[in-house]
Structure formats: structure tokens, C-alpha cells
């Protein structure tokens, strides 16, 4: 039994007229008759009651008509879905991200994705104990936004944009953007920072900032979570140096003072992942990054 035979049956079940059905199917009446007879013989079921003037469905024929109509609808839906997957406009994309883009770049990306690719399901992952690279290589993520380019040769990275680091201080702090001369102004204050012992490019950039000002910061609290750092800065527990993106999510009682140092944001994915959906998302991400970077200037 073939799908074509089922389609012939369903057309005849609707028309209940061999000549009309044959014309609709662009085949001869005798060919349609042979196909229906072959289907009945294969199933061992009489599907139609035929006379010289009428064609009528049997009870078994009515049952199969109803079942096969639903089945053909499912098949059509599956075919349309497969086409959407092939075109990269349907499926699931799992995105890893650092906290620093949670209130700036990332919401713009997700908003654009939901508008441009409305049938794509999005999963957001903010890694904690497991590295971005491991999650990508284990297929737990499809793309990752991160401050460092990929090190593993199985991964590929593109730099999306650069943004300034900023000094984050409590709102009542004596320093402002007007009177700020450099980090030497705060060398005796307590800092809340990511662990400076880490070997990432991001932390290396932090170390370089303090090296440029010829002092080692008094790190009172170590944390890799920007939201925690901002909360502590707001409480006056210490000050910090963070990517400027955190200003989008900063409490009103935290002041950001731009520094003449920058950090990059990269997008990373598996080199061997050639899905159309991934390519569509990467294209959208790069276009959105160009728009966002102009806002940073």
C-alpha cells in the first residue's frame, strides 16, 4: 500500500464518482478503478459499494476515510515541519551567556529572534560549575556568548563587539565621572572582583588594568556573579571593575565610571554544526551586534 493509493481512495471517498475523481487526480477512470481494486485486495476489505449509477462507501470504508484523513493531515504537518527545519526556521536553539549581557545585548537578541524566527524555541543557559566549552562539546548548548574566544579546535568563535570596562562605586562615593582621574584614586579601597587567579582572557584583562595603574587591588570578596557584585557595591561593601554592560542592570544606587580599557564579547559554536537554524541565528546575532555596538559608542 502506498500513500498515492490512499490519496486516490480519499479523493473517490469525497467525490463518490469515478469519472470526477479521475479527472481531479489527472488519471484515467480505468486506472483509478484498478488502484482502488488493488487496495481492496491488499487490505481484504470492500471499501465501496458500486452500481452502474452510484458509488457508496462501506462501513469499513467510512472508518478508513476518517482515519486516513487524520493521518494525511499529520503527514502534511510533518512534511511542512521538516521543510521548516531544513530552512532553519523551526527547532530549538540553546544559548549560553554570561551575566554581563543579561540586561543589554541578550534581551535585544532574544526579542529579535522571537520576531524573526517565531517558531524557534529558545533555551537560555547561564553556566555555573561547567565551562561554556564543555557544554558546547557535550551538545548541551548550541551557541555561547562569552568573554574569551574558544580554545578547543573543535569550536569556532567570532568577536561581536568590544565594550569599555567601568569602575562601579556606590552612589554616595566621592568619585564621579567628572573628578575621576584614574584607578590610582581607589588603590586603597576594598574591591569585589572575579578571582584574579583564573586563567581566562577576561581575568587577564582585569589584571592588566591594575598593572597599568601599578597596584594590586585589595580583593575583599571574590565572586564571578555580576548581580551579586552589584548588590554588594550598592550596599557600600566595596567597589568593582566590570564590563560596562552591567550598567543596564545596575541598581539605582550604583554609579558606573568608564575606564580606558575594553573587553570583547564573542559568540562560539561547534565547527561541525552545519544546521540551517544555527546559521540563521548566527547571522542575526552578528547583525544585532553591529547595532548594539553603535549604541555603546
Q: At which of 87, 102, 124 does a domain end?
A: 87
Residues 146 and 277 both lie in one domain: yes
- Percent of the chain at pLDDT exceeding 90: 62
Q: Same domain, yes or no, for 132 and 178? A: no
| Average pLDDT, rounded, for the chain | 90
- For residue 89, the model assigns a pLDDT of 77
Domain membership of residue 187 as a residue range: 162-263
Dihedral over Cα of 8, 10, 13, 15: its sign: negative
Strand-strand pairing, 218-222 and 55-57: unpaired
Do 199 and 238 share a domain, yes or no? yes
Write down the pLDDT at residue 53. Answer: 80
Return the pLDDT at 128: 65
Kindly state the average pLDDT of the residues 167-177: 94
Same domain, 275 and 149: yes
Same domain, 151 and 179: no
With bands split at pLDDT 50, 70 and 90, how would you rate the model's confidence at 225? confident
- The total number of structural domains in the chain stands at 3
Same domain, 78 and 197: no
- Which of 62, 87, 112 is the last residue before a domain boundary? 87
| CATH number of the structural domain spanning residue 240 | 3.40.190.10
Q: Is the pLDDT of residue 154 over 90?
A: yes
Give which of 292, 249, 297, 241 is closest to 267, Cα–Cα: 292
pTM of the predicted model as reported, rounded to 2 decimal places: 0.70
Check whether residue 183 and residue 118 sit in a common domain: no
Question: Is residue 259 domain-shared with residue 269, that is, in the same domain?
Answer: no
Q: Please tell me whether residues 290 and 223 are part of one structural domain.
A: no
Instruction: Give the bridge partners for 220, in sequence order.
Output: none
- Please state the rounded mean pLDDT for residues 97-113: 90
* 130 and 188 inside one domain: no
CA distances from 49 to 37, 46, 61, 103 (A): 12, 8, 10, 68
Residues 146 and 96 in one domain: yes
pLDDT recorded at residue 82 = 75
Query: Quick one: pLDDT at residue 249?
Result: 79
Q: What is the pLDDT of residues 236-284, one digit of tens each?
A: 999 999 998 888 878 889 999 999 999 999 999 999 998 999 999 999 9
Question: Residue 86 pLDDT > 60, yes or no?
Answer: yes
What percent of the chain clears pLDDT 70, i.e. is strictly above it?
98
**3, pLDDT greater than 60:** yes
Q: What is the model's pLDDT at position 242?
A: 94
On the CB side of 62, CA atoms within 13 Å amount to: 5
The reported pLDDT for the residue numbered 84 is: 62
Domain boundary among 59, 87, 115: 87
pLDDT at 297 over 60: no
Query: In this structure, what CATH number is given to the domain that contains residue 29?
Result: 1.10.10.10
Q: Is residue 156 located within the same domain as residue 23?
A: no
List own/partner pairs for 199-206 with CB under 8 A and 24 or more apart.
200/147, 200/148, 201/147, 201/148, 201/149, 202/147, 202/148, 202/263, 205/165, 205/261, 205/263, 206/165, 206/241
Amino acid at each position: 500500500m502506498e500513500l498515492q493509493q490512499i490519496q486516490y481512495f480519499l479523493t473517490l471517498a469525497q467525490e463518490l464518482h469515478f469519472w470526477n475523481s479521475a479527472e481531479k487526480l489527472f488519471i484515467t477512470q480505468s486506472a483509478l478503478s484498478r488502484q482502488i481494486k488493488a487496495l481492496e485486495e491488499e487490505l481484504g476489505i470492500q471499501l465501496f459499494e458500486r452500481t452502474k449509477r452510484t458509488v457508496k462507501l462501506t462501513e469499513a470504508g467510512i472508518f478508513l476515510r476518517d482515519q486516513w484523513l487524520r493521518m494525511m493531515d499529520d503527514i502534511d504537518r510533518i512534511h511542512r515541519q521538516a521543510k521548516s527545519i531544513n530552512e532553519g526556521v523551526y527547532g530549538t536553539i540553546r544559548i549560553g551567556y554570561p551575566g554581563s549581557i543579561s540586561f543589554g545585548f541578550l534581551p535585544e537578541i532574544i526579542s529579535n529572534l522571537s520576531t524573526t524566527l517565531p517558531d524557534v524555541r529558545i533555551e537560555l543557559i547561564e553556566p555555573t560549575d561547567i565551562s561554556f566549552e564543555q557544554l558546547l562539546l557535550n551538545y548541551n548548548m548550541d551557541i555561547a556568548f562569552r568573554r574569551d574566544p574558544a580554545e578547543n579546535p573543535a569550536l569556532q568563535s567570532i568577536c561581536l563587539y568590544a565594550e569599555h570596562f567601568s569602575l562601579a562605586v556606590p552612589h554616595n562615593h566621592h568619585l564621579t565621572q567628572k573628578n575621576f582621574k584614574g584607578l590610582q584614586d581607589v588603590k586603597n579601597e576594598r574591591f569585589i572582583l572575579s578571582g584574579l587567579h583564573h586563567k581566562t582572557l577576561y581575568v587577564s584583562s582585569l589584571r592588566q588594568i591594575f598593572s597599568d595603574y601599578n597596584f594590586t587591588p585589595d580583593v575583599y570578596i571574590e565572586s564571578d556573579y555580576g548581580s551579586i557584585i552589584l548588590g554588594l557595591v550598592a550596599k557600600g561593601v566595596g567597589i568593582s571593575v566590570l564590563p560596562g554592560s552591567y550598567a543596564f542592570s545596575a541598581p539605582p544606587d550604583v554609579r558606573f565610571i568608564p575606564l580606558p580599557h575594553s573587553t570583547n564579547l564573542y559568540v562560539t559554536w561547534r565547527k561541525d554544526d552545519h544546521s540551517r537554524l544555527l546559521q540563521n541565528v548566527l547571522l542575526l546575532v552578528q547583525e544585532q551586534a553591529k547595532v548594539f555596538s553603535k549604541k555603546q559608542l
